[in-house]
Amino acid sequence: MQIFDVSSFDIRFIRTIFVAFLSLICLAYPASSQQVEATTPNVTMSVGSILGESYPDNSQTFYNPTGIQIGDSFHFLVQVASGDEFSSDDSFCWGDQIVHFTAEMSYEGLRSTPQLIGRISPCSPCTDLQCSYEDRFMWGLGGLFKSSLDGAYFVGVEYAKGDNVLVGDFKEIRLMRSVDGFSWNQVLEPGSEEPVKLVSQSNLSCQAETGPCSGPCAGGNAVAQGESCLLFQFLDLNLLSEQDHWWGYVRFVVSTTSYLAKIRIFPDDPSPGEFRVELLAKDDTWKRVGASGEIDFLPKNLWRDGFVNALIESPSGCQVWASEYAPSAVGGCDDGNNSPASTSRFAYREVDAERNLGSVHYLGSRSRPAETINSTGRLMPLPVRDPDGSLMLFSASSDRVCEAFPSWPPGGNTYVGMDIVQTEITDAWIRDGFSATSSRPEGSSLDGSTTELGNETWTALGTTPGLVIRDGTATDDGAVDTRAANIPFSLSDYPDTAEIVVRGRVGATGSQWVGFGLNSTHTSPLLSTGQVWVLIRPNGSWELVGEGQTLSSGTVSVDPEAISLELAYEIERRRVDLRIDGVSAANDVALPMSFTPTLEAIGFQFFDPLPDQPGDNTLDRFEVALPTQSIFTDGFESGNRTAWSSETP
């Protein structure tokens, strides 16, 4: 089935140019989490496709994810090419649509299959692919945000008569509003049935795309000699709310080039229901757009061909996450186009208090090309922080279909068959979620198995049957005795490492205490040879141990079945930090001057020598992080997620 009634060349060209939308959503960084600084982030792509997997059976395509937390749920809006299956009456709906999904706002929920709620965009009156141009419209998607002025939710949407910028299909950016996140309506002009047009395509008489310009074209013609009548089109509106206005970024396109502009909007100005919209002009002054959204000035460019897709909070203020072309890319799945614009990579920039953008930083990879020659391989990153502090990254990719089907892309359209994929941003070099696999089945011994990331081998200590894999944990199954396990870890394998962070979640209901940390050997438990480690009891009392002596101690309120621990050792300064359930328990604790730790292993121990502690001891979410190292490991093709639900509740 053909999705778009334009030539395959035009589809391919414009979708290479317009690969991202702006999702503006500021997410707080808990103090316990590893913050993304202005250095290359450390990224693990850990789950795989959760929305898609339809090609070549049909032409459904999923991309442009945006979203926001509302109550106990995370609400996703996704752009879908071929929206007929999401119509409540099963009628044909021409062109791209906006579809609503939700997921439980939890560690498990954000890694599970979200639930379809339905299509929120109005459907074109077209009944088939041969309908008239005037009846043909589709929707593009911007960023979802909550307004602090009235508490409602808003999203900027593009109203288009097709998807081809070369013929001016992108007409204007409108607003949709919802009070509860479920019922969405277009925002209308006061006393009218006409939708509000925040910014609209405009014709300016200019010598070049970047000016100088002498104003609007006259009757479609250039005003001054030597000038051309250039069409300005706007896409990807992202907004963040302050107390009296919204601010953010919007993409404007001239000819075939994309630019990024700064925008601010004052609701109910000059009167209730109206919007005063201003763009930062090239002369660094704020200028107001016309009543119908047209401009008669040249906006200031902040980022050429930087397709910004999300804004998140960072220690310095905020960051914008984006896709860019990767002209030096040589790896990845080949989409069949050798143009430098037929490449993609993830990037981000800091945003300071004045909304200025810092230097561009790129994500690297040690397992898969982060810069790919597939134009739709690394697009539209949407960061979402889960309640446990982990930073998820939802993005769009065609890697699966590019690698699996020799016939792809059909007609050169690299968007066909795109998936939304889940990933996780982390600084972990070693990780184990203790998932059951064919090589490590449920109930099998932990001893001799390897970590899911880092390929390190566990050595389990204690009496038979010892530690086993059960329900996504390493557990002693309630056995009485001491159980322990270590993996080898040598600093010589990780040169230039300044800090080691060990994280995990323990269940301590079946032991006197659970230990966790750095060891001098992988063949002995922490109690015997531990170097820098923590032990915690079911009642929440804890001790930070170094050189066999207690360096610090205390008591915190915990759920003994699930205690999150993070132990950080700064090597040169010889200082230790401890966080329990995301809260600092010990900060900047110095090691004894006479003690130099020998670090050759990392592990855990369940101490239960007497049958006086019934219950199971467990460890899950184990990882070893090196914050000064860079890593980007993805698993687009190895995830086990099925397509998102295609049935409404």
pLDDT per position as a tens digit, 624-636: 988 765 444 343 3
- The DSSP secondary structure of 320-373, one letter per residue, reads EEEEE--TT--BS---S--STTS-BEEEEEEE-TT--EEEEEE---SSS-SSBS
Position 43 scores a pLDDT of 29
Whole-number average pLDDT of the chain: 81
Which residues are registered as beta bridge partners of 224? Answer: none
* Measured distance CA(569)–CA(588) in Å, rounded: 9
**Tokens read off for 51:** 């929305």
Position 81 scores a pLDDT of 79
According to the per-residue pLDDT averaged within each range, which of 12-16, 70-74, 105-109 is highest?
70-74
pLDDT (tens digit per residue) in 325-351: 999 998 888 998 888 889 999 888 989
**Tokens read off for 4:** 């778009």
Position 41 scores a pLDDT of 30
**Up-side HSE of residue 566: CA atoms within 13 Å toward CB?**
21
Residue among 486, 411, 281, 372 at smallest CA distance from 45: 372
Position 348 scores a pLDDT of 86
Per the CB < 8 A criterion, the answer to whether 264 and 286 are in contact is: yes
- Residues 60, 79, 261, 296: is their CA dihedral positive or negative? positive
Residue among 526, 597, 598 at smallest CA distance from 565: 526
Kindly report the number of other CB atoms within 10 A of residue 274's CB atom.
Answer: 15
pLDDT (tens digit per residue) in 415-450: 888 888 877 776 778 889 898 888 899 999 999 999
pLDDT (tens digit per residue) in 289-330: 999 999 999 999 999 999 988 877 766 678 889 999 999 998
Position 191 scores a pLDDT of 92
Per the CB < 8 A criterion, the answer to whether 458 and 448 are in contact is: yes
Position 1 scores a pLDDT of 18
Which has more confidence, 633 or 97?
97
pLDDT (tens digit per residue) in 32-69: 222 222 222 332 222 344 455 555 555 568 899 999 99
| Range from 64-68, 236-240, 459-463 carrying the lowest mean pLDDT | 459-463
- Coil vs helix vs strand at 9: helix
pTM over 0.85? The answer is no
**Tokens read off for 647:** 């049935």
Region 76-81: what's the mean pLDDT?
89
CA distances, 600 to each of 487, 519, 597 (Å): 9, 6, 10
Q: Which amino acid is at 517?
A: G
Position 615 scores a pLDDT of 65
**SS3 letters for 493-562?**
HCCCCCEEEEEEEEEECCCCEEEEEEECCCCCCHHHHEEEEEEECCCCEEEEEECCEEEEEEECCCCCCC
Position 413 scores a pLDDT of 85
Pairing mode, strands 170-178 and 468-470: unpaired
* Measured distance CA(321)–CA(21) in Å, rounded: 11
User: Does the pLDDT at position 367 exceed 60?
Assistant: no
Region 220-243: what's the mean pLDDT?
92
DSSP letter for 27, please: -
**SS3 letters for 138-184?**
EEEEEEEEECCCCCCEEEEEEEECCCCHHHCCEEEEEEEEECCCCCC
Region 528-551: what's the mean pLDDT?
95
Provide the pLDDT confidence category of residue 646 given band limits of 50, 70 and 90. very low
First to last CA, the chain: 28
Which residues are registered as beta bridge partners of 533? Answer: 517, 545
* Measured distance CA(23)–CA(63) in Å, rounded: 12
Position 94 scores a pLDDT of 74
